[in-house]
Structure 1
């Protein structure tokens, strides 16, 4: 069992930007980021099977020269989003030194790996290329996705150039995370479901496949011969599961909209499936949580197929940590039967 956003929901002040640090300042402080990563492992000792480094998917746009702020109550904000071809050229021409620009991320991973001392494996991650393009063009989160859709429909060739640039940086970033100590990698295509099936095949899937194919090759170039498991999470991309199951990733993570039985049929045991409890269940009673956990585990095969228990997305800051503990305990109890 692992949580997509460890530490962000725990009550300790360190996870809420103490000492007047903003979110990205907290990410860039290796000691603080490491401590936040380990918080849930300590709190739920023996119940969580992995830790995921405290960071954010938007560090790649930052490494590409874009300014990103995290506004209180509003989320990520790009003061100068990509809105026309002239804006794009600046980003495409920017020479990204991943080791230099994201040095703090690698330090945090190494520090955390040492602190974990083998207790649980450590996840590294990045955002999917399409998802990062959405943020870079919209200037933040969106409901209409006006500018991202405008880009792929008005400037498809330039969109592909941007997606390729993001992919190149993502491959290097993921690979260097492994060098720093990450043992598993996950790619979050959080806005995948905002694309039509046809557009997903053109503007998301090829770049996800590139990442799955190129990271192992890059790792070999860096002297790492062991196989590093890779997970893809394309939220809302219900039409793409069959393709994702043969995209080169070892695990496909599912959001809560999926019927697990249907997902198992489509997968045909090609990859491990991960998911997919609605995090909102944590607002229910213990009886409801037990019922939903049992339904989920049984629907995924009851331990007879390759499966990782997980939420269908991350936890919320309003959730009671003791309720999450009960959920984890029930996962172990029911899953071990």
Structure 2
């Protein structure tokens, strides 16, 4: 299907564009009353993820309401461990919890490499979204980075330290690599199926990249992200490694097209470390959107000036916070569109 708005894809290729494209991480979610209306009609978050028609509906909402340049499929990174045989629960206001975790070689034998059919609901949601969008904007597929998924599978929940997951890297590195490879193979199967279903580009979220030392990051995270990027040849790939300042130089050397920056990463320094062949994405502090309108506009303009007109996809430096005023989010999107057109 021909895309009416291919701004993001042209930006990733390094082409000159009429303006900077913009979307937001977590744009399909709690900031929108329209999302909450759908969500409140269900038993919980997981039911929404696993109901393709409704997942497609909330995926398209920010395109209609906020005017973003891409739709990111509504799902969760933890569908991968569930598909591998390690189910999770989503506890309201607390986050994910795994009733069972991976502690030993015996636990590894209870799980498998997931195939595309194991997460058919997300694939169906992409197909419905593709049909309903009629080529208005590209669809972004996504998955968690193997290290981030590993951290949840071993720890059993979110954590400030992920000390159980990090301990395994020291106490049983062979088992850690075994599990990471299983997650990697599952993720490649999943992303390829998302692309076959209609995803126009994919993003890998390494949410817990920043809790590893540089040496461990290279061994236990980047190695597996690189495998995924090498395997996915059909569409452009974005890697977002939260808090991993040391990783930027390393990410310049792997086979991804775009690198997401969090709001603490210096733009000029990041450009230098990543080199001319990578597009960069980000990186406004999500808390800017709590400010008044003039301050938001000023911050967006400063960000756009620092990134410059080429090879930049405007975004926040992390997901939009759930209590953010949708009007302020719309202002962010509109300011990117208006100001980036002027500075071309």
Q: For the superposition of Structure 1 and Structure 2, which TM-score range results when normalised by the shorter chain? A: over 0.9
Contact 1:15–1:36, Cα closer than 8 Å, also in 2: no
- Tell me if 1:312 matches 2:317: yes
Q: Which of 137-146 and 32-41 deviates more? A: 137-146
For the aligned residue pairs, the C-alpha RMSD in angstroms reads 1.3
Pick aligned residue for 2:276 from 247, 269, 274: 269
Distance in 1 of aligned mates of 2:57 and 2:137: 15
Pick aligned residue for 1:30 from 27, 43, 52: 52
Task: After superposition, give the CA deviation of every residue in 1:87-122 in whole Å (9 maximum; x if it has no partner).
Answer: 23322xx253x2321111110000000111010000
Pick aligned residue for 1:241 from 240, 248, 258: 248
Cα offset, 1:2, TM superposition: 1.0
Contact 2:251–2:274, Cα closer than 8 Å, also in 1: no
After TM superposition, list the pairs within 5 Å mapping 1:271-310 onto structure 2.
271-301=278-308, 303=309, 305-310=310-315
After TM superposition, list the pairs within 5 Å mapping 1:1-337 onto structure 2.
1-8=22-29, 9-12=31-34, 14=36, 17-45=39-67, 48-91=68-111, 94=112, 96=114, 98-216=115-233, 227-301=234-308, 303=309, 305-337=310-342
Unaligned regions of 5+ residues in structure 2, if any? 1-21
Q: Which of 141-150 and 56-65 deviates more? A: 141-150
Distance in 1 of aligned mates of 2:38 and 2:97: 19
Distance in 1 of aligned mates of 2:267 and 2:293: 22
SS in 1 for 2:238: strand
Unaligned regions of 5+ residues in structure 1, if any? 217-226
Distance in 2 of aligned mates of 1:246 and 1:133: 23
TM-score by length of 1: 0.92
Task: After superposition, give the CA deviation of every residue in 1:176-211 in whole Å (9 maximum; x if it has no partner).
Answer: 001001111110011001100010010001101000
Contact 2:23–2:333, Cα closer than 8 Å, also in 1: no
Task: After superposition, give the CA deviation of every residue in 1:271-313 in whole Å (9 maximum; x if it has no partner).
Answer: 1000101111100111211121111111112x0x311111011
Contact 1:172–1:215, Cα closer than 8 Å, also in 2: no
Aligned pairs, number: 320
1:219 maps to none
Cα offset, 1:16, TM superposition: 5.7
Contact 2:72–2:141, Cα closer than 8 Å, also in 1: yes
- Summarize the Cα distance change of 1:95–1:202 in structure 2 as closer, same or farther, 3 Å threshold: closer
1:220 maps to none
Cα offset, 1:20, TM superposition: 3.3
SS in 2 for 1:12: helix
Distance in 2 of aligned mates of 1:282 and 1:299: 19
After TM superposition, what 4+ stretches of structure 1 lie above 4 angstroms from structure 2?
13-16
Contact 1:6–1:36, Cα closer than 8 Å, also in 2: no
TM-score by length of 2: 0.90
Q: Say which structure, 1 or 2, has more relative contact order (CA 8 Å, 6+ apart).
A: 2
